[in-house]
């Protein structure tokens, strides 16, 4: 098997005998072309047979064809040489590892002009390589089939879990609807019952008043008739009994007290609706995050550009029940400001009492991204819900325990903190930090946001609970705000 070759772009103009560019090309009656010297040498070796064949298609010719130079190919080769196509240099005319150029005459053991190996030896070598290739392919097939089987099991598990979740959710919502329907019916029945009672009382009083009016009119008529009598004795005898009035059957306060109907009931029901809407809005964000946090596949690569991060942006609000009393919340509970005087927050077990900290209302699972801009000294944190809220030490401070992680920006301090361990971080390029969370993958990354995303710190861990975004403000007038992302 010949080991010489030519450059690929000139392969169509090569001689299949010498495997080089055609020299003095001639074309046989069958259409195949060869170097004149190559085909002459080939046919000279067949002179004793009296039959002359094409080395490629094996078409036989008798008598021996007269060879004529193919001027068209000559011109084409000359033109191509002018445009840069050249025969490969001698040191590049050999096939690389794994390459084979098969010469017809060498295969027939009738040509001695090439460095050759036997076809059997080359086949043995390639057969071994083929066996190794098949082993690799079969191993990949087995691995891929395992992955397919695992994914099929995941698909079935997802479907079962989703069906069960839908069934359970439907049952729970049906119970809620049934409860609301019951309460609605009870309110309606109570209103109607009260209506019937009050109407009955009013009608009873109304009847008594009508009777009183009739009695008064009768007495008034008798007095009028008495006033016209000419008999003085008769007048004096009857006047005392006619002028005496009985006590009124109703209280005079009925005319002065404000009327009270059922408008207050409507106001109370409206207040209940507003509270339910607020509660549903709070809880729905948790439910939605839980649903979108379902992810059975391998973690996706962490985003690189801000546009990619924004695909996971989430709306975060601060929970007033957790805010320290020196923190004032504004901008729809998305901004916190440290004040000099305490705010009038009611007592609540979730409220931070030592450090000026606040947690988000929303719990965070799945992949989430948010941005915070600030002025002054601030700690940008994530924390578990069960972090301590009271105490004189740092057990309730973000980053000072194993339940929270935080970036510290205060004076010249630029640190990442977790479980009392501080790690120095680069100076951010702007007062805007992006936070990326992949809860399932255990990835928490902080970025300085400007024209580019500059990584400040990255955590790889295992999160055991849903997380909440947190802020720790340090110094009067310090502000921090969750940015609106589009």
The confidence score (pLDDT) of residue 359 equals 97
Count the residues in the chain.
486
- Average pLDDT for 88-93: 40
Q: How confident is the model at residue 254 (pLDDT cuts 50, 70, 90)?
A: low
The confidence score (pLDDT) of residue 4 equals 43
pLDDT tens-digit profile of 331-377? 999 999 999 999 999 999 999 999 999 999 999 988 999 999 999 99
279 DSSP assignment: H
The domains located in the chain, with CATH, are: 10-87 (3.30.40.10), 306-482 (2.60.120.920)
Query: What percent of the chain has pLDDT above 90?
Result: 35
CB 348, CB 320: distance < 8 Å: no
The confidence score (pLDDT) of residue 285 equals 64
Q: How confident is the model at residue 3 (pLDDT cuts 50, 70, 90)?
A: very low
- Average pLDDT for 398-410: 94
Task: Answer yes or no: is pLDDT of 89 > 60.
Answer: no
Q: How confident is the model at residue 258 (pLDDT cuts 50, 70, 90)?
A: low
The confidence score (pLDDT) of residue 387 equals 94
Of 140-144, 243-247, 374-378, 444-448, minimum mean pLDDT range: 243-247
pTM: 0.47
Q: How confident is the model at residue 17 (pLDDT cuts 50, 70, 90)?
A: confident
Best-predicted range by mean pLDDT (165-169, 177-181, 295-299, 351-355): 351-355
Top pLDDT among 1 and 406 is at 406
The confidence score (pLDDT) of residue 249 equals 59
Task: Answer yes or no: is pLDDT of 206 > 60.
Answer: yes
Radius of gyration of the chain (CA): 49
Q: How confident is the model at residue 293 (pLDDT cuts 50, 70, 90)?
A: low
The confidence score (pLDDT) of residue 87 equals 44
- Average pLDDT for 102-120: 59
Q: Report the C-alpha gap between 318 and 383 in whole angstroms.
A: 13
The confidence score (pLDDT) of residue 128 equals 87
Query: What percent of the chain has pLDDT above 70?
Result: 85
Task: Answer yes or no: is pLDDT of 422 > 90.
Answer: yes
The confidence score (pLDDT) of residue 205 equals 87
End-to-end CA distance of the chain, in Å?
Answer: 67
Quick one: which of 338, 374, 369 has its CA closest to 438?
A: 369
Of 5-14, 121-130, 381-390, 394-403, minimum mean pLDDT range: 5-14
Q: Report the C-alpha gap between 38 and 44 in whole angstroms.
A: 10
SS3 (DSSP) at 461: coil
Structure tokens at 441: 């993958």
Question: What is the rounded average pLDDT for all residues in the chain?
Answer: 83
Task: Answer yes or no: is pLDDT of 151 > 90.
Answer: no
Q: Report the C-alpha gap between 147 and 395 in whole angstroms.
A: 45
Q: Report the C-alpha gap between 16 and 22 in whole angstroms.
A: 9
Q: Report the C-alpha gap between 355 and 474 in whole angstroms.
A: 9
- Average pLDDT for 59-82: 83
pLDDT tens-digit profile of 318-339? 999 999 999 999 999 999 999 9
The confidence score (pLDDT) of residue 444 equals 97
CB 443, CB 460: distance < 8 Å: yes
The confidence score (pLDDT) of residue 394 equals 77
pLDDT tens-digit profile of 132-149? 999 999 999 998 999 888
Q: Report the C-alpha gap between 36 and 33 in whole angstroms.
A: 9
Task: Answer yes or no: is pLDDT of 111 > 60.
Answer: no
Quick one: which of 361, 363, 391, 483 has its CA closest to 434?
A: 483
Q: How far is CA 362 from CA 348, 352, 398, in A?
A: 18, 17, 17
Quick one: which of 442, 444, 443 has its CA closest to 470?
A: 444
- Average pLDDT for 293-304: 68
Structure tokens at 75: 């011109």
Indicate if the alpha-carbon torsion angle 76, 81, 85, 91 is positive or negative. positive
360 DSSP assignment: B
Q: Judging by beta carbons within 10 Å of its beta carbon (0-12, 13-18, 19+), is residue 187 exposed, middle or buried? A: middle
- Average pLDDT for 208-237: 87
Task: Answer yes or no: is pLDDT of 188 > 80.
Answer: yes
pLDDT tens-digit profile of 450-467? 888 999 999 999 998 999
Q: Report the C-alpha gap between 157 and 271 in whole angstroms.
A: 43
The confidence score (pLDDT) of residue 436 equals 97
């Amino acid at each position: 098997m010949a080991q010489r070759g030519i450059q690929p772009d000139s392969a169509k103009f090569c001689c299949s005998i010498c495997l080089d560019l055609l020299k003095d090309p001639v074309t046989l009656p069958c259409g195949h072309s060869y170097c004149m010297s190559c085909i002459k040498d080939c046919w000279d070796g067949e002179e004793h047979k009296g039959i002359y064949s094409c080395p490629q298609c094996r078409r036989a010719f008798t008598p021996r064809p007269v060879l004529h130079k193919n001027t068209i190919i000559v011109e084409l080769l000359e033109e191509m040489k002018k445009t840069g196509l050249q025969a490969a240099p001698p040191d590049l005319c050999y096939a690389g590892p794994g390459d084979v150029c098969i010469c017809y005459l060498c295969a027939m053991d009738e040509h001695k002009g090439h460095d050759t190996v036997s076809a059997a030896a080359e086949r043995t070598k390639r057969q071994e390589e083929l066996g190794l290739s098949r082993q690799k392919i079969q191993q990949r097939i087995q691995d891929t089939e395992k992955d397919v089987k695992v994914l099929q099991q995941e698909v079935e598990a997802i479907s079962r879990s989703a069906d069960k979740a839908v069934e359970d959710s439907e049952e729970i919502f049906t119970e809620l609807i049934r409860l609301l329907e019951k309460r609605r019916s009870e309110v309606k029945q109570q209103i109607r019952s009260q209506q019937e009672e009050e109407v009955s009382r009013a009608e009873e009083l109304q009847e008594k008043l009508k009777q009183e009016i009739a009695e008064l009119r009768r007495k008034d008529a008798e007095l009028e008739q008495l006033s016209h009598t000419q008999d003085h004795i008769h007048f004096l005898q009857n006047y005392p009994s006619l002028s005496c009035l009985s006590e009124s059957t109703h209280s005079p306060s009925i005319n002065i007290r404000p009327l009270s109907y059922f408008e207050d009931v409507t106001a109370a029901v409206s207040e209940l609706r507003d509270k339910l809407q607020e509660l549903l809005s709070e809880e729905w964000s948790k439910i939605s995050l839980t649903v979108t946090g379902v992810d059975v596949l391998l973690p996706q690569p962490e985003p690189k550009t801000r546009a990619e991060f924004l695909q996971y942006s989430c709306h975060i609000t601060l929970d007033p029940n957790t805010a320290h009393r020196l923190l004032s919340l504004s901008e729809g509970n998305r901004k916190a400001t440290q004040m000099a005087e305490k705010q009038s927050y009611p007592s609540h077990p979730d409220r931070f009492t030592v450090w000026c900290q606040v947690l988000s209302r929303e719990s965070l699972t799945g992949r989430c991204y948010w941005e915070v801009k600030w002025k002054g000294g601030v700690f940008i944190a994530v924390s578990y819900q069960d972090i301590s809220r009271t105490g004189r030490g740092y057990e309730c401070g973000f980053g000072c325990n194993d339940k929270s992680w935080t970036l510290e920006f205060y004076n010249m301090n630029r640190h990442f903190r977790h479980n009392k361990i501080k790690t120095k971080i680069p100076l951010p390029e702007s007062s805007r930090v992006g936070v990326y969370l992949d809860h399932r993958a255990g990835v928490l990354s902080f970025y300085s946001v400007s024209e580019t995303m500059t990584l400040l710190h990255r955590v790889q861990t295992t999160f055991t609970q849903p997380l909440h975004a947190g802020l720790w403000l340090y110094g009067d007038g310090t502000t921090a705000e969750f940015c609106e992302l589009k």
